[in-house]
Amino acid sequence: MTERAPLWTADEIAAAVGGVASAPFEVTGVSIDTRSLEAGDLFVALSGARDGHDFVPAARARGAAGALVVRPVEGPHVRVPDVFAALEALGRAARARPPQLACAAVTGSVGKTSVTQAIAAALHRAGHGHSSVKSYNNHIGVPLTLARMPRDTRRAVFEVGMNHADEITPLVAMIRPDVAVVTTVGPVHIENFADGEAGVARAKAEIFSGLVHGGRAVLNADNRWFDALRQEALTRSAEIVSVGRTAGSVARLLDLAPDGAGQIVTADVAGHSLRFPIAQSGDHWGLNALMVLVTAEALGVDRPTVLEALASFGPLGGRGAERTMALPGGTWTLVDESYNANPVSMQAVIAALGARQVTGRRILALTDMLELGAEGPALHAALAEDIRTAGVDLVFCAGPLMRSLWEALPPGLRGGHAPDANALAPELKEAVRPGDVVVVKGSNGSRASLIVEALTGRGSP
């Protein structure tokens, strides 16, 4: 195991957060969860459903070097009036420490985690890079990621998420990105906006509020909200870097061709012809790859390093990771897209399945897409046309909203419907045959991951 470098001293923490240190100590990481805490971490005793102070003894037992608390506890600690406010302050202090830090913030209705992690792969390959882990993109995840940033970081990328208006603004105020990326805007979380997708677009545009003056805005030129986002970015005197198939795009996608398990991207980037491999499938990865390229380059990573990262950056767990499964008489392929879902990402996954060469059947197992409000049933039913166009052979549906899709499908495509993911899993497992490719997708809240667990033997069905 690699020894971790010192991250904060007790005095530095106290100065950053306006607290009082009980004793000298030094930490090599920052944690809010005793289950994943590593020896040497600072344990931040946040209060939620449970009071984090109740877990300080467990944190010490796991090797925490100190704690951030509002009341005295046993062991080294920094005492503050408000632990959450202190975490934010520590994040802001971390952002100010590296003398020549270049950083990017990424948001979007679809693809923000994959694009963020692909950029991160390039930054880490270049050296002295820092990035969000998993989907740490909310009011806790962003300051936590900042607080964990080593003092010698040169480049960093942060994922920024939202469910409502005014959530992105305070996050990018902490990040102060040199590059702001909006992967796309679509009908996601629309139940939280009176004017639907237009409200989502405005909320995503909040990312430009924190952009350094004259920074770069990387935007999807093929998205119908491009002009609105562009105008908002220009209020920060941003340099607009358009990415798309649209003529005139700064990074224009010309072709995307299958190549084994991945694809070959052909593009024109600022007048220069490029052709390079990526280790991802799906048409949406053409634009994703170009967004990664122009963002990483804007942060100072040379092009060969970025292309090397893209050539080796494979699908993330729950976002396209594949697994070969054994059956009597052969094997079949499970594609795990269970992390989350919305109409835009559903359409992309359906199209990608349709483009695959298979020896068996193309099968979809779908659970409800959530936070769509009154439009939910219609948006689910509308997927039937995408499924027919893609040439999918069989569809299994779980959940009350997916009932609308089930009823819109031709009888020959109906594999099965169940009230929830757990109930659907045994039926799907029984139906799979050698040569089949099965894609599982749905929103977090509708638990599509339970189907994956059942199919791989990690669940109960």
Give the CATH number for residue 59.
3.40.1390.10
List C-alpha distances in Å: 389 to 30, 383, 406. 48, 10, 16
In a domain, 343, yes or no: yes
253, 288, 312 - which closes a domain: 312
Strands 20-21, 77-79: pairing is antiparallel
Radius of gyration of the chain, Cα coordinates, nearest whole angstrom? 23
> What is the strand order of the sheet 41-44 is part of?
20-21, 77-79, 66-69, 41-44, 29-31
Same domain, 302 and 409: no
278, 312, 346 - which closes a domain: 312
Same domain, 172 and 109: yes
Same domain, 150 and 274: yes
What is the pLDDT, as a whole number, of residue 431?
94
| DSSP summary character for residue 253 | E
In a domain, 89, yes or no: no
Same domain, 194 and 226: yes
Same domain, 330 and 437: yes
Q: How many angstroms separate the CA atoms of 157 and 164, rounded?
A: 22
Same domain, 105 and 200: yes
Same domain, 183 and 288: yes
What is the pLDDT, as a whole number, of residue 252?
98
In a domain, 2, yes or no: no
In a domain, 12, yes or no: yes
Same domain, 50 and 178: no
Q: Give the residue from 414, 401, 339, 407 showing the smallest Cα distance to 369.
A: 401
List C-alpha distances in Å: 71 to 14, 45, 298. 14, 10, 44
| DSSP summary character for residue 80 | -
Side chain identity at 353, as an amino acid letter?
A: L
Q: How many angstroms separate the CA atoms of 441 and 337, rounded?
A: 5
In a domain, 461, yes or no: no
What is the pLDDT, as a whole number, of residue 459?
46
In a domain, 195, yes or no: yes
Q: Is the dihedral of CA 32, 36, 41, 43 positive or negative?
A: positive
Token output for 27: 């930490």
Only one residue has tokens 């094997």, namely 331
Same domain, 294 and 178: yes
What stretches of 81-225 show up as alpha helix (H) in DSSP?
Answer: 83-96, 112-126, 141-147, 168-175, 197-205
In a domain, 361, yes or no: yes
What is the pLDDT, as a whole number, of residue 2?
61
What is the pLDDT, as a whole number, of residue 281?
85
What are the E-state strand segments in 279-384? 321-327, 330-337, 362-367
Q: How many angstroms separate the CA atoms of 409 and 412, rounded?
A: 8
Compute the 3-state secondary structure of the chain and give helix, strand, coil in percent, each to the nearest 5.
40, 25, 40
Q: The domain that contains 440 carries what CATH number?
A: 3.90.190.20
Report DSSP letters for 188-219, one per residue.
Answer: SSGGG-TTTHHHHHHHHHGGGGGSPTT-EEEE
In a domain, 298, yes or no: yes
Side chain identity at 378, as an amino acid letter?
A: A
pLDDT tens, residue order, the chain (461 aa) = 467 889 999 999 999 999 999 999 999 999 999 999 999 999 999 998 899 999 999 999 999 999 999 999 999 999 999 999 999 999 999 999 998 899 999 999 988 999 999 999 999 999 999 998 877 899 999 999 999 999 999 999 999 998 899 999 999 999 999 999 999 998 878 888 888 889 999 999 999 999 999 999 999 999 999 999 999 999 999 999 999 999 999 999 999 998 887 999 999 999 999 999 999 988 889 999 999 999 999 999 999 999 999 999 988 878 888 899 999 989 999 999 998 888 988 998 999 899 888 999 999 999 999 989 888 999 999 999 999 999 999 999 999 999 999 999 999 999 999 999 999 999 999 999 999 999 999 988 899 999 999 999 854 43
Token output for 430: 């029984």
8 A C-beta contact, residue 217 and residue 108: no
Could you give the 3-state DSSP secondary structure of residue 321? strand
Q: What is the CA angle 88-180-184, rounded to 5?
A: 115
Same domain, 180 and 57: no
Q: The domain that contains 277 carries what CATH number?
A: 3.40.1190.10
Q: Which residues of 318-344 are buried (b: 16+ CB within 10 A; e: fewer)?
A: bbbbeeebeeeeeebbbbbbbbbbbbb
The pair phi, psi for residue 279, each rounded to 5°, is -95, 40
Long-range contacts of 6-14, Cβ-Cβ distance < 8 Å, separation of 24 or more: 7/42, 7/148, 7/150, 7/151, 8/42, 8/90, 10/66, 10/76, 10/78, 12/93, 13/42, 13/66, 13/68, 13/78, 13/90, 14/78
8 A C-beta contact, residue 9 and residue 26: yes
Q: Give the residue from 98, 155, 137 showing the smallest Cα distance to 306.
A: 155
Torsional class of 229: left (φ above 0), alpha (ψ -120 to 50), beta (otherwise): alpha
What's the structural domain count of the chain? 3
Same domain, 178 and 293: yes
Same domain, 105 and 13: no
Side chain identity at 139, as an amino acid letter?
A: H
| DSSP summary character for residue 341 | -
Token output for 23: 């004793």
Domain that holds residue 372: 321-455
29, 50, 80 - which closes a domain: 80
